């Protein structure tokens, strides 16, 4: 059985993620108390379900403390247990609550939304450490659905390398494990003919391939990853997110991510381009 647990901050897109898995054929349950996880999985096993998605978060109150033990027990029984932790920047969450006019689940007398977010982050600190974080600050609902389906489709038991391009002017991804800054490389943006294109387009590829500094940067990052990937594997990690940023996330970072993904084709690789319009 494959069990995908969805957790994270209120307003970060957990309902979108759970619905995406439901649409992909997973039996789904929202807001399950962690103390009921083992009995529910036993029931689903009896019914023959092989893929289950469950949302577990602060709405479960004190039962949340039982989640780490429940996950460990299920893993010991042979269940492929994965936890996806959704989060977003505080200003993004505040804006989302304002736009939807929803109350934060931890709202109480005298508490601002920002204070509720900080309180929820503290409550979920241990849960976050158990799973793979996904920063939804700059993601549309459609893009989040795509990312979720790609992540759960990765083969269990293997380290998945996630290469993600981004623009520094939009902020560093919260879910990045390693961040490489390629803003020092020659920028196609300053050529009016190249500006509307992206790092996926051949004219941009040709422009960057002719710059020796670009090849040096890519080779340096590749050597770093070659050296340290064994150490990350020894941590029994399921995912390692390598974020590569340029100014706008359109040209240089996209090219470098695509080049690195090809270089590590023998690994299990996922590619993300956070800022590309077509990726949203």
Euclidean distance between CA atoms 91 and 78, whole angstroms: 40
* Mean pLDDT for the stretch of residues 214-238: 95
Higher per-residue pLDDT: 280 or 218: 218
Which residues have a Cβ under 8 Å from the Cβ of 172 and sit 6 or more positions away?
166, 179, 243, 245
| Beta strand 27-29 pairing with 132-135 | unpaired
Cα separation, 228 vs 238, whole angstroms: 15
Residues 6 or more apart whose Cβ sits within 8 Å of residue 2: 50, 51, 52, 79, 80, 82, 152, 156
H-type alpha helices, 124-211: 125-128, 141-153, 202-209
Backbone angles phi, psi at 28, to 5 degrees: -125, 145
pTM: 0.89
Whether the per-residue pLDDT at 94 is higher than 90: the answer is: yes
DSSP three-state, residue 41 = helix
Tell me the mean pLDDT in the region 109-129.
94
Cα of 111 vs its chain's centroid, Å: 29
Give the least confident one: 74-88, 100-114, 203-217. 100-114
* Pure H helices in 24-66: 37-46
b/e 149-175 (16+ beta carbons within 10 angstroms → b): eebbebeeeebbbbbbbbbbeebebeb
pLDDT at 154: 86
Asked if pLDDT for residue 16 goes beyond 70, the answer is: yes
Residue 280: predicted pLDDT: 40
pLDDT at 278: 59
CB-count exposure of residue 30 (10 Å: 0-12, 13-18, 19+): middle
């Amino acid at each position: 059985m494959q069990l995908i647990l969805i957790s994270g901050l209120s307003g970060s897109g957990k309902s979108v993620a759970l619905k995406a898995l439901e649409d992909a054929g997973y039996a789904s349950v929202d807001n399950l108390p962690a103390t009921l996880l083992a009995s529910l999985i036993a029931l689903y096993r009896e019914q023959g379900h092989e893929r289950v998605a469950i949302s577990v978060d602060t709405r479960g109150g004190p039962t949340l403390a039982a989640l780490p033990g429940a996950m460990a027990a299920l893993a010991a029984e042979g269940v492929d247990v994965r936890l996806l932790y959704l989060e977003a920047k505080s200003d993004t969450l505040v804006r989302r609550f304002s736009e939807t006019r929803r109350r934060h689940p931890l709202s109480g007398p005298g508490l601002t939304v920002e204070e509720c977010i900080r309180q929820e982050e503290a409550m979920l600190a241990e849960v976050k450490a158990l799973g793979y974080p996904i920063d939804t600050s700059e993601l549309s609902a459609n893009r989040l659905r795509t990312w979720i389906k790609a992540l759960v489709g990765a083969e269990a038991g293997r380290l998945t390398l996630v290469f993600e391009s981004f623009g520094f002017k939009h902020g560093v991804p919260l879910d990045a494990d390693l961040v490489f800054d390629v803003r020092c490389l020659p920028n196609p943006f300053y050529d009016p003919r190249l500006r509307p294109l992206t790092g996926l387009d051949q004219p941009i590829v040709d422009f960057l391939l002719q710059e020796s500094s670009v090849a040096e940067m890519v080779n340096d990052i590749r050597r770093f990853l070659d050296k340290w990937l064994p150490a990350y594997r020894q941590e029994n990690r399921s995912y390692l997110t390598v974020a590569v940023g340029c100014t706008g996330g359109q040209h240089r970072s996209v090219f470098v991510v695509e080049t690195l993904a090809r270089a590590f084709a023998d690994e299990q690789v996922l590619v993300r381009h956070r800022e590309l319009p077509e990726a949203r």
